Structure 1
Amino acid sequence: MPVDQPMKLTMLMLLVPLLLSYGIGSGRCSTVPDNSTDLHALLDFKNAITNDPTGVTSIFWNDSIPYCQWKGITCSQRHPGRVTTLDLTGHGLSGPIAASIGNLTFLRTLDLSNNHFFGQIPPLGNLHKIQGLNLSVNSLEGNVPEALTNCSSLLSLDLSKNILVGKIPAKIGLLPNLSILILSSNNITGSIPSTLRTIPASIGNLSSLSALGLDSNNFTGTIEWVGKLNNLQVLNLGENNFIGSIPPSIGNFTQLTNLYLQNNKFEGPIPSSFGKLSQLSKLNLSYNNLQGNISIGINIPTQPFELSLSSNKLNGQIPDSLSQCQNLATIELDQNFFEGNIPISLGNLSGLILLNLSHNDLSGTIPTSLSDLPLLRRLDLSYNHLYGKIPMHGVFANTTTVSLNSNWGLCGGAMDLNMPPCPPVSRRTERKNHLVKILIPIFGFMSLVLLVYFLFIVRKKARAKYTPFTSFCENFLKVSYNDIAQATRNFSEYNLVGRGSYGSVYRGKLKEQKMEIAVKVFDLEMRGAERSFLSECEALRSIQHRNLLPIITACSTVDSTGNVFKALVYEFMPNGSLDTWLHHKVDGKTPKRLGLNQRISIAVNIADALDYLHYDCGRPTVHCDLKPSNILLDDDMTALLGDFGIARFYADSLSISTGSNNSVGVKGTIGYIAPEYGRGGHVSTSGDVYSFGIVLLEMMTGKRPTDSMFKDGVDIINFVEGNFPQQIFQVIDDHLMEECKDFPQAKQEAENAVYQCLVSVLEVAISCTRPLPNERMNMKQIASKMHAIKTSYDERIMSH
């Protein structure tokens, strides 16, 4: 039946919207077809996020635009609607990573780094196309999933700076295309899987590996497995527990640019094959037990080069061949046993920025050629046996960049160095000096022979009770009881600084030396006071470090009434103790609060001091009483550790403990004592680690471990652990939150920097306070981590 014209018009008007709607919908689908699997996976991921400070998902991921246009999302052109990239790095996102991410089967790049994701890594074994996986700088925990080994297309895997534990999955060495593997800064333990070390078929599969980062974990064993990774450009195994010698085969890695093996337990010599590493720009072998001399300098690269061999047992002379490395920018040879003169040829290194030769046995004069180095910004020659006139120009003109402490014969130089003036030199004196240079080695040898003989006789015959104290005092300033009484105004209450377990501490000033001092006077009527005095003398007799409280002298005599008098005299620390800054007022006024950077610097100082005591002072020493009141602050707010009254030598404490069921009795301060001491355990360096962890928690929370809030099973450790890492702002000192106000133009970035820093510090503290000693890191690892935290925080704050 024919349709009339009005009816046709009506039908057309009804059809147009439908056709337009279909056309628009079809157009959209043809541009970005809807894929329900990928869309639902993304929505599940979004819904699992608990905090989104930048709004990247809560604002920009919405139904008004296709999901392929969401921020951080890229879809395939060949397969429209399939997600190939998910990149949300650095948005401060919190929450678990939803397991649905594993359904994005076309994903080639997943980058969620620099956020606050927590929980376990989700199962990603179905992502067979993924090439780049970066989950670094988060708070992910648990094991490295075995399922990752199914991601056969992986080129780069970065899981660094999380809280991962357990061992590396054995099959990870079978990933055929893997070229970058970074698992740094976790708590991964055990030895390297056999599939990586026995990285033939397995090593062949990983022969294209160009970067391997396993630093800041707890790996053990030797590293001979590294020998066939010839394409490596970056190798970072630092801050672990690797042992044995450094394989000479590393010298065959001709493309190697960065080699980090610091903070391990490597022994033996530095392989001479390292001279073939012509592309090397950074070599860090510090904090190991390497021995022998160094011959580095042949074939060193043309680019700026950083060389760090600090804190080993290297000896011999510093080779002139170093001067062949014209682009050396950093030389750190401190805390070794180098001897002889400082090579004049070092003055040819025009690109040198940092030179640290401190804590060695160097002698002779300071080469004036060092003052001609145009870029030198830091020079440390302290704790050697240098003598003669200090140069006046170049780096020596800026006393804030040069350190020359504890060199017995230096004179002159810039006025701010406070060195004695140099005497005028006549020709006769010059001849005498020349003669002295000849005779010193001769008399030195003879003295050594006599010293050995003397020590042999003394060990056999000496019975005197105070022999350790006598030898201790011979090289220190002589003061009498009257000198100390006069300096402290007869020990007046006005000069009283504080009271300790075995006596009192007074402030004073030695009139003749015009020196401000702190005098620790022992109350010998108290049981254990005399033993404490002798322990502290013995501990301080042979140790010296920039972060240990400098002792001026010890005094053992009688007072004006004929009673025995014993005291220790220290440099006075004008800023008092850390305890005062954290909890009390100074001179009736509230002090300026410690900022986060200051607190981290103090923690780094104390970590360095304990590292030195445990590993580098010749005879491992356990402090036994680490707490804020024993941490003093000088006028630059540098922290110095004091009070060695109950310190123990590690080897001695072991023999005492095992021989007499801990008859000495472990002492310390309630709240800071390691739990194993309460169970009768012997003194160990792990006890100091525990105390350091408690001090770190106290510095970050502003609360003592004995605070009244800690009761009914709650202590400072589980108080922090229960809020870590998501809710740490609930437990830290409120004054630290004010740090962000100083960065009005980059508030969010500053908050992120503060947050990341706090997470890292509290992570170290929690690791230090594990209940079992073998679960804790050692102080060498801790010191390295604290330095890394400080460097990272400084860089992030300065960049904003």
Structure 2
Amino acid sequence: MELFVLIVWAPLVLSYGAGSIICAVLHGNDTDMLSLLDFKRAITEDSKGALSSWNASIHFCNWQGVKCSLTQHERVAMLDLSEQSLVGQISPSLGNMSYLASLNLSRSMFSGQIPLLGHLQELKFLDLSYNSLQGIIPVALTNCSNLSVLDLSRNLLVGEIPQEIALLSNLTRLWLPYNKLTGVIPPGLGNITSLEHIILMYNQLEGSIPDEFGKLSKMSNLLLGENMLSSRVPDAIFNLSLLNQMALELNMLSGTLPSHMGNTLPNLQRLFLGGNMLEGFIPDSLGNASDLQHISLAYNHGFRGQIPSSLGKLMKLRKLGLDTNNLEANDSQSWEFLDSLSNCTLLEMLSLHSNMLQGVLPNSVGNLSSNLDNLVFGRNMLYGLLPSSIGNLHRLTKLGLEGNNFTGPIDEWIGNLPNLQGLYLEENRFTGTIPTSIGNITKLTVLFLANNQFHGPIPSSLENLQQLGFLDLSYNNLQDNIPEEVFRVATIIQCALSHNSLEGQIPCISNLQQLNYLDLSSNKLTGEIPPTLPTCQQLQTIKMDQNFLSGSIPISLGSLSSLISLNLSHNNFSGSIPIALSKLQLLTQLDLSDNHLEGDVPVNGVFKNTSAISLEGNWRLCGGVLELHMPSCPTVSQRRSGWQHYLVRVLVPILGIMSLLLLVYFTLIRNKMLRMQIALPSLGERFPKVSYKDLARATDNFAESNLIGRGSCGSVYRGKLTKEHMAVAVKVFDLDTQGADRSFMSECKTLRNIRHRNLLPILTACSTIDTRGNDFKALVYDYMPNGNLDSWVHPTGDRNFADQLDLYQRVEIAANIADALQYIHHDCESPIIHCDLKPSNILLDYDMTARLGDFGIARFYIKRKLVPAGDSTSVGTITLKGTIGYIAPEYAGGSYLSTSGDVYSFGIVLLELLTGKRPTDPMFCNGLTIVDFVKRNFPDQILHIIDAYLLEECQESAKADLGGENNAQQCLMSLLKVALSCTRQTPNDRMNMRESATELHAIKMSISIPAVM
């Protein structure tokens, strides 16, 4: 028999070596090896070389990821290839390895269906999470009777959870979140008494939570959030004494909470019941669940009565969210909960937005935890003076008191909140002047003081708020001129100063490159529209109505290609309506009524739609489309002198014939040009037009000597445009490459409407045919003389001390890119996901200012529905995009595109910038990543992992007795902390780019700028 087997296996003996094959035959483990080889054949890409050791020179029990059982004649007992970025399908041959006890293929890029593994009677651990597996959960899996852990999370699975899963009597963990599973939760799960974890969140499950779950006495984690579950939560679940997490948020659950739940759930740490239809009282017994850290009962609309003061006994409480309910407080007794919460010294968030809290906010609010980050009392019925004790809460980043009836002034204590990023005081009855101390809150990004009774001037100290994005001071009684300092804050995106008594001229507005909304209406402003206003190319809405503005409407407003709404009504404008306004393709609302305009009304663009424009009160206007019912514009008198009759009868026909000939001539020329010009995505009038000939001349016919880089979709050349005398970079797309045309269109669409000092500015685009008649597409950018970041972090040849990036430059570059990502993530009307952030896509200007480029695979995204803050999800799922090493781990599992993916890539870039190592460095193998590498050495051994030049810089500073090493180490610690926060495995655990940018700017300010020699 052995001879027969050897004959059959002869080809394998030649391919893989006689020793291992004969050994396999003699020990009867040939089936396992064949199964592993079948598995390898199904892999189409192995970027990390995880299977490179799977060859004949090594016994298969020693192949990477393979472990054999010594007690079972070297049969495979474990296969662990997690986080290896393998691409392909999972071979069903794995189901033949009958002694396999553990199979871990998580965090890769497997696709296709889950294979039939029902013959694996020894299988105890199965983890296929974070892949792109499709189809249904095979019923055959339930034949693996010893299965203890089943993790299929973050795939693309559909269909129902098999009822037969209840046959897995040894199951302890069932993890199926982030799929597309439908149907009901199998009640039979309640019979698996060993179950400790049921995690089914983010699916489309419906029906009720099975009553049988009340029998799972070992349950510690029940996570069913973001489904469509309804009915009541079974009372028996509140008796599961080992329960650690109960997360049932964002369903349609109803009913009340048991009064004793705090006593019967002594180990509960996290209670997430928000976004349901629960009602009744918050159980006083919750204060007895002493391990509680996070309570969220928000957005139920039904909780009523008082907030239990017993919550003050929760010494571990960090977050308390009770927003959007009917909770009450109207006397000293019902406000006792606030006093009691001062005992919770770890409290970071207290959010009571949209309830029925009444009366004066107690002064004890200032006694809350010194760790408090968010304090939200908006949309209640509070009144009276605001307690100055709030100024004690120095770590606050958000203070939300909007929509109440607070009165009196805002005292200078507001300036004692240096970390504040969002100040929401709108819709109250505050009086007095706006405190100048607000200018001390330099991290402020949102300042909302609208709908109050503030008077006096706008403080010029607002100029200090260099991160301010949203400013709303409308509906007050502010006087005096608009300080020109306000329009020096380059980060402002939306500015609303309407319905005040501001006067004088509008200051110069030229530095607001991110401004998209400007409302100065209903004031007493005079003079003309500043000629610099059209430099704010992101403007979408301009409101200047109800003022005393005069002069003509600037023709240059026609260059605002993003403009959607323009209201200049009820002013003293004169002259004609600029025809340029009719060329604004996005303009859909135009109100020029009640001015002194005259002359022809344009007939194109927005002027075609009579419901979109208002021109009343301009008595000298004429013409326009018929639907406007305007008087006809006057014509030349028919009575002319004799020589005029001659001109009309003789010269006019001659001129007409000449005009016709010229028209024919130029038509022929135009048709010839059209044959050279194909459809080009509209980039607006501000972009110059260039031809193929222009670009060929600029780059010496795309000479190799001018080549400065190659990418997946084409090549980049250095050039100089003759007419503009401008150095440029020309990105020529290789249209034979799959996706190149789509990349060109994507980059055009993305860059057409965004402008930021840290984004690579596009000058124009060219879509035509070359001299051979082939399609030609190219983008033209400003030339970046210092190349890309990759060439600085990984220079070729010997390192020169003088040519390396010092610590300050690296922090500056990181802050630049964080600003760019903050802008595209948070400050664009249609937020953008870059999808391919890496050092080679970060360019450096003359002064080493970093600019983010290459938006070829960028995506716009929207929010699906109400989701937890910061969890913005894209339009759809993706095929994996980006560059290996920088791709967020959730994308490997087919997760939705999100801004969190860019955050992860940014964190990797920051780690690379600090360590000098690429994420694909050969040292990162066998499951070790650059993130793990840094984690293992943080914080005690960071000097062992940082880039050698940075280490040298630290040591040189120390030798100079400048205290530099300690300062530099502290800076490096802070930078690595930001990077590690950005690269956390779970997207929701990562900081967003607004937070990252804030941290990096703080770090930058903490170190000295190198002295200029």
TM-score normalised per structure 2: 0.46
- TM-superposed deviation, 1:223: 5.9
Deviation string 1:50-108 (CA, Å, 9 cap, x unpaired) is: xxxxxxxxxxxxxxxxxxxxxxxxxxxxxxxxxxxxxxxxxxxxxxxxxxxxxxxxxxx
* Partner secondary structure for residue 770 of structure 1: coil
Residues 492/363 of structure 1: CA separation in 2 closer, same or farther (3 Å cut): farther
Residues 90-489 of structure 1 correspond to what in structure 2 (within 5 A)? 167=318, 190-191=349-350, 203=362, 206=364, 209=367, 214=371, 219=374, 222=377, 229-233=387-391, 235-236=393-394, 239=397, 245=402, 249=406, 252=409, 254=411, 256-258=413-415, 260=417, 269=426, 273=430, 275-276=432-433, 280=437, 282=439, 284=441, 286-288=444-446, 290=448, 298=456, 306=464, 310-312=468-470, 314=472, 321=479, 334-337=492-495, 359-360=514-515, 383=536, 448=589, 451-452=605-606, 469-472=680-683, 474-489=685-700
Residues 634/281 of structure 1: CA separation in 2 closer, same or farther (3 Å cut): same
- TM-superposed deviation, 1:724: 1.1
User: In structure 2, what is the Cα distance between the partners aligned to 1:736 and 1:596?
Assistant: 7
Deviation string 1:382-405 (CA, Å, 9 cap, x unpaired) is: 63699xxxxxxxxxxxxxxxxxxx
* Partner secondary structure for residue 614 of structure 1: helix
Deviation string 1:421-458 (CA, Å, 9 cap, x unpaired) is: xxxxxxxxxxxx9955886999799985554577999x
Alpha carbons 1:578, 1:631 under 8 Å: kept = yes
One-letter code aligned to 2:765: A
Aligned to 1:522: 733
Alpha carbons 1:297, 1:322 under 8 Å: kept = no
Residues 203/344 of structure 1: CA separation in 2 closer, same or farther (3 Å cut): closer
Residues 473/439 of structure 1: CA separation in 2 closer, same or farther (3 Å cut): closer
1:557 equivalent in alignment to 2:712: no
Residues 679/557 of structure 1: CA separation in 2 closer, same or farther (3 Å cut): same
Residues 264/571 of structure 1: CA separation in 2 closer, same or farther (3 Å cut): same
One-letter code aligned to 1:769: T
Alpha carbons 1:248, 1:274 under 8 Å: kept = no
Alpha carbons 1:557, 1:566 under 8 Å: kept = yes
Alpha carbons 2:681, 2:749 under 8 Å: kept = no
- TM-superposed deviation, 1:744: 6.4
Deviation string 1:481-534 (CA, Å, 9 cap, x unpaired) is: 011111111111101111101111111111121111101111111111101111
Aligned to 2:746: 535
User: In structure 2, what is the Cα distance between the partners aligned to 1:327 and 1:567?
Assistant: 40
1:774 equivalent in alignment to 2:774: no
User: In structure 2, what is the Cα distance between the partners aligned to 1:519 and 1:586?
Assistant: 27
Return 560-569 or 735-744, whichever deviates more: 735-744
Residues 331/248 of structure 1: CA separation in 2 closer, same or farther (3 Å cut): farther
User: In structure 1, what is the Cα distance between the partners aligned to 2:727 and 2:526?
Assistant: 31
Residues 305/523 of structure 1: CA separation in 2 closer, same or farther (3 Å cut): closer
1:635 equivalent in alignment to 2:846: yes
Alpha carbons 2:861, 2:874 under 8 Å: kept = no
User: In structure 1, what is the Cα distance between the partners aligned to 2:935 and 2:790?
Assistant: 23
Aligned to 2:77: none
Residues 347/562 of structure 1: CA separation in 2 closer, same or farther (3 Å cut): closer
One-letter code aligned to 1:249: F
Aligned to 1:699: 913
User: In structure 2, what is the Cα distance between the partners aligned to 1:541 and 1:720?
Assistant: 39
User: In structure 1, what is the Cα distance between the partners aligned to 2:386 and 2:1001?
Assistant: 32
One-letter code aligned to 2:494: N
Aligned to 2:816: 605
1:732 equivalent in alignment to 2:885: no
- TM-superposed deviation, 1:312: 1.5
User: In structure 1, what is the Cα distance between the partners aligned to 2:371 and 2:413?
Assistant: 16
* Partner secondary structure for residue 825 of structure 2: helix
1:619 equivalent in alignment to 2:772: no
- TM-superposed deviation, 1:616: 1.1
User: In structure 1, what is the Cα distance between the partners aligned to 2:581 and 2:487?
Assistant: 38
User: In structure 2, what is the Cα distance between the partners aligned to 1:679 and 1:251?
Assistant: 54
Residues 76-91 of structure 1 correspond to what in structure 2 (within 5 A)? none
- TM-superposed deviation, 1:739: 3.1
Aligned to 2:970: 756
Aligned to 2:177: none
Residues 307/524 of structure 1: CA separation in 2 closer, same or farther (3 Å cut): closer
1:785 equivalent in alignment to 2:999: yes
One-letter code aligned to 1:623: H
One-letter code aligned to 1:787: H
- TM-superposed deviation, 1:314: 3.9
One-letter code aligned to 2:413: L
- TM-superposed deviation, 1:661: 7.0
Aligned to 1:583: 794
Residues 510/307 of structure 1: CA separation in 2 closer, same or farther (3 Å cut): closer
Residues 342/674 of structure 1: CA separation in 2 closer, same or farther (3 Å cut): farther
User: In structure 2, what is the Cα distance between the partners aligned to 1:604 and 1:270?
Assistant: 35
Aligned to 1:647: 858
Structure (1 or 2) with the larger CA radius of gyration: 2
Alpha carbons 2:842, 2:851 under 8 Å: kept = yes
Residues 565-576 of structure 1 correspond to what in structure 2 (within 5 A)? 565-576=776-787
- TM-superposed deviation, 1:736: 1.4
One-letter code aligned to 2:536: Y
- TM-superposed deviation, 1:363: 12
Aligned to 1:498: 709
Residues 748/516 of structure 1: CA separation in 2 closer, same or farther (3 Å cut): closer
- TM-superposed deviation, 1:281: 5.1
Residues 214/172 of structure 1: CA separation in 2 closer, same or farther (3 Å cut): farther
Alpha carbons 2:400, 2:425 under 8 Å: kept = no
User: In structure 2, what is the Cα distance between the partners aligned to 1:766 and 1:192?
Assistant: 28
Residues 644/255 of structure 1: CA separation in 2 closer, same or farther (3 Å cut): closer
- TM-superposed deviation, 1:254: 3.5
* Partner secondary structure for residue 643 of structure 1: coil
Alpha carbons 1:266, 1:288 under 8 Å: kept = yes
Residues 289/472 of structure 1: CA separation in 2 closer, same or farther (3 Å cut): farther
Alpha carbons 2:817, 2:850 under 8 Å: kept = yes
Provide structure 1 residue ranges, at least 5 long, that are not aligned to the other structure: 1-144, 147-163, 349-353, 371-378, 387-406, 410-432, 458-465
Alpha carbons 2:789, 2:840 under 8 Å: kept = yes
1:709 equivalent in alignment to 2:860: no
1:689 equivalent in alignment to 2:903: yes
One-letter code aligned to 1:496: L
Provide structure 2 residue ranges, at least 5 long, that are not aligned to the other structure: 1-289, 292-314, 322-335, 540-554, 558-571, 591-603, 612-676, 866-871
- TM-superposed deviation, 1:638: 0.4
User: In structure 2, what is the Cα distance between the partners aligned to 1:558 and 1:617?
Assistant: 34
Alpha carbons 1:243, 1:264 under 8 Å: kept = no
Aligned to 2:12: none
- What is the count of residue pairs matched by the alignment? 556
* Partner secondary structure for residue 722 of structure 1: helix
Return 166-175 or 722-731, whichever deviates more: 166-175
Residues 308/286 of structure 1: CA separation in 2 closer, same or farther (3 Å cut): same
- TM-superposed deviation, 1:259: 5.7
User: In structure 1, what is the Cα distance between the partners aligned to 2:351 and 2:379?
Assistant: 11
Alpha carbons 1:334, 1:357 under 8 Å: kept = yes
Return 673-682 or 224-233, whichever deviates more: 224-233
One-letter code aligned to 1:383: C
One-letter code aligned to 1:580: S
